[in-house]
Amino acid sequence: MSILIGADVVPTDSNINKFKKGNVQEILGVELFDIWINADFRLFNLEVPITDKASPISKQGPNLIAPKSTINGIKGLHPSLITLANNHILDQNEQGLFSTSNLLDKNNIHHIGAGENLNKASEPYIFQWNGNKIGVYTCAEHEFTIATENSAGANPFDPLESLDHIAKLKSKCDYVIVLYHGGKEHYRYPSPYLQKVCRKIVDKGADLVICQHSHCVGSFEEYDKGTIVYGQGNFIFNEHNNEFWNTGLLVKVDDIFNIEYIPIKSNEIGIEMAVESEAKAILKNFYIRSEKIKEDEFINTEYQKFAEKSIANYTRKLAGFGRWKSRFDRRIFKNRLSKHHYSKQDLLAIQNYIECEAHRELLIKGIKEI
């Protein structure tokens, strides 16, 4: 008996016609399709609104969309449950979310993680399996698609609310699975804050926490009585061809809640089982990284290195450089323009605006009003 959990699913140019026709076996390959379809319970993140009407919201990053006909492929995956708690489910405004949820309802596909308001979006899902009650809770970091008390969207992770939701769910269930849509894209380790959040989720009752969204296979740790996966990679999302996007993991849970990892890789039309040397390499590196995060101060020092490499991308945007000046700074001046654009006092002010809760709340409110 098994539960299989996949990460992000988005139909793309390489396979959209197969999604439309429901040719799922071709998208997954025979071996992987058999493994997937023979699980007792199948769960993944649908990271795209399914709608025929384009009405993109204002946001940073791409506005994803898939036509309604791709529901044939989604249905062909025979999902037991789909999570919509992610940073793209409102990409085509509320109509995109409602179109998606209506299509899923029409096809008798259970879904959680997004809804007409915050109360609806935060509802968990409970099912009976092997004589046990299993609870599933899904949430996302704050990126443009979050529900509020009076507006539709994805369920946000809120430390003042979500941890109580998880504790309440655990009181009703034997096991709890939490899918947390967050973390930094293309970073294979947890940030200090992400590790703190995920450990607290385990403290509140989660037996398995999976961080999706990073589009790369990361690392994992056994913490207290729970397992935390920091980065699952993609499931079916053939958007890019690089070292991060090309591999992923299915997370398999057996009937006594042992965790197993099944390596997968992308191909020209979808994904397939990774086998032999490729599978060994994916798992070997996954376990090596997982040993690394046990070392004292590794997470802090590695994240500091990552921050030093990434900060220029943020300072250029804060400075309003625009596309061409940003390219000149990055490629010709090696980030020196953005580095010297701010005085020390400027940087301290920016730090204070972001770090201080009162400043940050006011800043965000003011930006939204503008």
pLDDT in tens, 171-205: 999 999 999 999 999 999 999 999 999 999 999 99
pLDDT in tens, 125-138: 999 998 999 999 99
**Cα–Cα distance, 217 to 194 (Å, whole number):** 16
Indicate the DSSP class of residue 225: T
Distances (CA, A) of 208 to 128, 221, 251, 334: 17, 10, 10, 42
Distances (CA, A) of 299 to 195, 234, 280, 304: 9, 23, 25, 8
Q: In the structure encoding, which two tokens stand for residue 290, read together?
A: 């997982």
Question: Is 2.60.40.10 the CATH number for 2-292?
Answer: no
**Cα–Cα distance, 321 to 171 (Å, whole number):** 51
Amino acid at 175: Y
Work out the pLDDT band at 229, boundaries 50, 70, 90.
very high
Reported pTM: 0.94
Domain boundaries defined on the chain:
2-292, 298-369
Q: What pLDDT was estimated at residue 339?
A: 86
pLDDT in tens, 69-92: 999 999 999 999 999 999 999 999
Give the three-class secondary structure for 275: coil
Amino acid at 354: I
Give the three-class secondary structure for 158: coil
Round the average pLDDT of the chain to a whole number and report it.
Answer: 96
